[in-house]
Amino acid sequence: MALNTAFAQDGIFLYVPKSTVLEKPIQIINILLSDEALLTQPRNLFVLEENSQTKVVVCDHTLSPQNFLTNSATEVFAGKGSNFEYVRMQNEHNGSYHISNIYIHQEATSVVNTNTITLHGGVVRNNINVALVGEGAENHIYGLSLVDKTQHVDNYSFVDHAVPNCVSNELLKM
C-alpha cells in the first residue's frame, strides 16, 4: 500500500451523492499492452453517501506477452444505508503479477458485496480488508479462481466487526 500511495499513476474517483441510485453498472477496463515490462499502480476511490447505490465492474487484461506487475489499491466508503457491489475480473497471462488491495469502510445498515473472479493470471494476490463501523452493516465476500499449471492465486480477507449487530459472509472457490 505504501508503494501504491507513493507512486499511484492513475485511477478512478467515483462520488455518489446522498439518495442517488445509479441504475447501470460502471465498468472500468484496465488493459496492459506494452513492448516493455511495466509496473502499474492504479488507485481508486469510491464514496457512497447515505442511501446511495451503485455497482462497479473492474476488468483487468493483458494483451502483450511482456512481464507486468500491477499493484492496485481501491478504497470504498459506504455511507449509512448505502448499497455497493464491486466485481473484479482478472484475465491476465502467466507472465503477469497482480496485487489487488481493497479497503472497505461501512457505516450503519450499509451493504457491500465484493466478487473477485480470477480467470487467468501468473501470480495473483487479492487482499480484502473490511471495517464494519456502523451497526447493521452487512458485508459479503465472494470469489472464484480458475487456475492451471504454474498459476498461483492467493486470496486474503480481514473483516473487522468494530461494532455489534453486523453480518459478514465469505465464499471463495478455487
**In a structure prediction context, what are the per-residue pLDDT tens digits for the chain, which is 174 residues long?**
888 888 888 999 999 999 999 999 999 999 999 999 999 999 999 999 999 999 999 999 999 999 999 999 999 999 999 999 999 999 999 999 999 999 999 999 999 999 999 999 999 999 999 999 999 999 999 999 998 888 999 999 999 999 999 999 999 998
CA distance linking residue 86 with residue 56, whole number of Å: 5
C-alpha cell at position 90: 482478472
- Find cell 442511501 and name the residue: 51
CA dist 155 to 63, 75, 147, Å? 24, 17, 13
**Angle at the Cα of 131 (from 46 to 1), degrees rounded to 5?**
65
Buried b (16+ CB within 10 A) or exposed e, 100-135: bbbbbbbbbbbbbbbbbebebbbbbbbbbbbbbbbe
With a threshold of 0.85, does the pTM exceed it? yes
User: Which candidate, 11, 26, 155, places its Cα nearest to that of 87?
Assistant: 26
Judge contact between 96 and 122, C-beta under 8 A.
Answer: yes
User: Which candidate, 125, 112, 138, 117, places its Cα nearest to that of 47?
Assistant: 112
